[in-house]
Chains A and B, each alone.
Chain A
Amino acid sequence: MGKISRRDFLKTVGGAGLVASTIPSSFLIDLYALTPTRKLSQVEAWFYKKLPDKEIKCELCPRYCQLGDRERGYCGARENRNGIYYTLVYGKVCAAHIDPIEKKPFFHFLPGTTAFSIATAGCNVNCKFCQNWQISQVRPEQVENFDLPPRDVVRYCLKYRCPTIAYTYTEPVIFYEYMYDTSVKASKKGIRNVVVTGAHINPEPMKKLTEVVDAIKIDLKAFSEEFYKEYVRGELKPVLDAIKIVKESGKWLEIVYLVIPTLNDSPEEIRKMSKWIIKEVGPDVPVHFSRFHPMYLIKNLPPTPVSTLERARNIALEEGINYVYIGNVPGHKGESTYCPSCKNVVIKRFAYQILKNNLRKGKCKFCGQPIPGIWS
């Protein structure tokens, strides 16, 4: 197979691939040199149990897929071959960008820096409102993949001076082994690692992951089991458990709640969730209420009204959460960080840009109040 041409590359990325409006052109040229591969990986997966008759039981996520020979897990990225469970996506990226860290979003983690962001195809849930379904709700062989082993991820990060690697876009849980190995390699070079996840994962792998990464952003998609069952095809409880595990680990945690009109936007639900956050992980965990846009299987609902997002933010603030943001509404005042003590703007944002940073050594420059986060 020859090298991918510029024309073919652009055709590919138009569908699902390496879209990169923020990537320096020199970086794109580097990726042009990569040849798309049709070969998937065959690296033995972690967290599974061998059963009689060549069956296996995956223990990575709460689904506990039990599979016969040649069967795939719900994620589509792991396959039982002759009684051994393999990840098919180790080092096989379908998306790679350099993004502002604010895009993840992380608002209390190295503001104004970039993250080398990667994903492989597949996901262990099936959110009806998925924003990246073209790469998450597919099997890896159904998208164009590029070989990018952990050492090359680190190399690109160093070359383009990205202080952080973000495992994102699809669901990093399904490329756990790749994410873990890359994180270990990157840490040795002083590169930080952040995970953007729905956290539909079992406690043991979650704990192990917190040992090698620096921050985790968890999508809390609603605060009811019914919603998770109907619209996520997953469970809420394992996600809540994962949030607690991250907090207990001491690694940086932020929570995003995508507010979908009529489905998870009731004041009661928002208040219940806010109370839970205060009780279980404390008032200093940033919470982002993001605006929904019609997508994938939910196209019959309008984008979230800004007033609904503001109402959610107000409820969370009333309940005592200190850092509550509004996402996907560029220019809204809820994008900025306010000092909980003197109420001044500590970090002023517009979309993914930092307009002003009034932090001094992690403290509000006006009153000296410490602002929690990873700032340097």
Chain B
Amino acid sequence: MGKSKVVMIKGKGALINNRINTKVISLMFKKGLSLLFDCNDFRDALNQLFSPSDRIGIKINTIAGRKLSTNPEISLTLANLLTRIGVRSGNIIIWDRTNDELRRAGYRLNFSGGGIKVFGTDTRRINYEFDLTIHKNIGSRFSRIQSRLVNKSISLAILKDHGIAGLTGVMKNYFGAIHNPNKYHDSNCNPYIAELYETYLIKNKNKLSILDGMIVQYHRGPSYHAQWAKKCELFIMSTDPVAADYIGWQFIEKLRKERGLPPLEEEKRMPYYIITAEKMGLGKANLNEIQLIEYEV
């Protein structure tokens, strides 16, 4: 197997006065995808992952309120790009655990109207599967959005520090796809995050992993604390979720070092789950096996 490719794409002016500039965001996604797949047009890249008949879930992260959640302008921009390869807008679902969290993050819900769908698992008639999916140490009921409504998914996660796991990334983002994430916080969420990702409902469906680093919370996450948040205006993109998380982790460590904070390992919350995921063969967590491309639009 060759190296895993990760693109860190920066967009100057993507975030001005806490407002998203969708033109820059769109450029970042397009260029990032093109770099990821070595092609000139982002549509060629998307066509390698998705087909027009797909039902695609974009799993976002809205637990931390408006200041540190996936901005609607970002997820909608990504969804719109998917329509450019022929995916029907009604077959794209932007989703998270609850409608309340989505609203608090600034989303306008759309369950039954036309266009791109936006709703939470707690929507009446959706909910979690009644039966457990059991895999290694995981025993969870999955959101029916992930299990039934979509056949492919994108993890569009917020890049941030996490008080227990060390890092919230694209793999941990799927804690929001199960009914009992609170049961997997022991031992820095290791091996739970990796084992959850390995379940067929996630591993087989997740095609693209994106870390949203518009604002990066590098300490005291997962909630927002202005004094330890930095505007970075970047995305980390990969088809390898482990590699994306690994690069995100290194980026957090870099920001921590700049601010004189100790490495996560010293705070006993190194994200070992990333190493575990690599051992399980889910991806790469070693700079020697990752091709990192940095680019600014």
Contacts from A to B (Cβ < 8 Å): 15, 53-55, 65-76, 126, 128, 137-139, 141-142, 233, 296-297
Which residues in A have their C-beta under 8 angstroms from that of B254? none
Which residues in A have their C-beta under 8 angstroms from that of B164? 66
- Is residue B280 contacting chain A, with contact meaning CB distance below 8 A? no
- Whether A76 and B182, one on each chain, are in contact in the complex, defined by CB atoms closer than 8 angstroms, is yes
- Whether A142 and B220, one on each chain, are in contact in the complex, defined by CB atoms closer than 8 angstroms, is no
- Is residue B186 contacting chain A, with contact meaning CB distance below 8 A? yes
Bound-state Cα–Cα, A73 to B98, Å: 18
- Is residue B231 contacting chain A, with contact meaning CB distance below 8 A? no
Given contacts A67-B163, A68-B163, A70-B65, contact A126 B183 (CB under 8 A): yes
- Whether A68 and B182, one on each chain, are in contact in the complex, defined by CB atoms closer than 8 angstroms, is no
Cβ 8 A contact of B179, one of A73, A138, A296: A138
- Is residue B102 contacting chain A, with contact meaning CB distance below 8 A? no
What is the minimal beta-carbon distance from A228 to any residue of chain B, in angstroms? 12
Which residues in B have their C-beta under 8 angstroms from that of A74? 182-183, 185
- Is residue B221 contacting chain A, with contact meaning CB distance below 8 A? yes
Say which size band chain B's interface belongs to: 20 to 34
- Whether A71 and B223, one on each chain, are in contact in the complex, defined by CB atoms closer than 8 angstroms, is yes
- Whether B179 and A139, one on each chain, are in contact in the complex, defined by CB atoms closer than 8 angstroms, is yes
Cβ 8 A contact of A142, one of B64, B163, B179, B225: B179
17 sampled A-B residue pairs with Cβ under 8 A: A53-B220, A65-B185, A68-B163, A68-B221, A68-B223, A70-B63, A70-B65, A71-B63, A71-B223, A75-B182, A76-B183, A126-B183, A137-B183, A138-B180, A142-B127, A296-B139, A297-B132
Which residues in B have their C-beta under 8 angstroms from that of A297? 132, 134, 139
- Is residue B278 contacting chain A, with contact meaning CB distance below 8 A? no
- Whether A70 and B223, one on each chain, are in contact in the complex, defined by CB atoms closer than 8 angstroms, is yes
- Whether A233 and B186, one on each chain, are in contact in the complex, defined by CB atoms closer than 8 angstroms, is yes
Which residues in A have their C-beta under 8 angstroms from that of B186? 233
Which residues in A have their C-beta under 8 angstroms from that of B11? none
Bound-state Cα–Cα, A74 to B224, Å: 21
Which residues in B have their C-beta under 8 angstroms from that of A139? 179-180, 182
| 7 tightest A-B CB contacts, nearest first | A69-B223, A68-B223, A297-B139, A76-B182, A126-B183, A72-B182, A74-B182
Bound-state Cα–Cα, A15 to B180, Å: 17
Given contacts A68-B163, A70-B65, A137-B180, contact A15 B223 (CB under 8 A): no
Given contacts A15-B130, A142-B128, A297-B139, contact A71 B180 (CB under 8 A): no
Given contacts A76-B180, A139-B180, A297-B134, contact A70 B64 (CB under 8 A): yes
- Whether A141 and B122, one on each chain, are in contact in the complex, defined by CB atoms closer than 8 angstroms, is yes
The chain B residue sitting closest to A229, CB to CB, is: B186
Which residues in A have their C-beta under 8 angstroms from that of B127? 142
Which residues in B have their C-beta under 8 angstroms from that of A65? 185
List B85-108 residues whose CB lies under 8 Å from chain A.
Answer: 98
Which residues in B have their C-beta under 8 angstroms from that of A68? 163, 220-223
What is the minimal beta-carbon distance from B59 to any residue of chain A, in angstroms? 18
Which residues in B have their C-beta under 8 angstroms from that of A66? 163-164
- Binary interface encoding of chain B residues 180-212 relative to chain A, with 1 for a CB under 8 A from any of its CBs, else 0: 101101100000000000000000000000000
Cβ 8 A contact of A53, one of B64, B179, B185, B225: B225
Bound-state Cα–Cα, A75 to B181, Å: 10
- Whether A54 and B183, one on each chain, are in contact in the complex, defined by CB atoms closer than 8 angstroms, is no
Bound-state Cα–Cα, A137 to B128, Å: 13
Which residues in A have their C-beta under 8 angstroms from that of B225? 53
What is the minimal beta-carbon distance from A76 to any residue of chain B, in angstroms? 5
List B22-68 residues whose CB lies under 8 Å from chain A.
Answer: 63-65
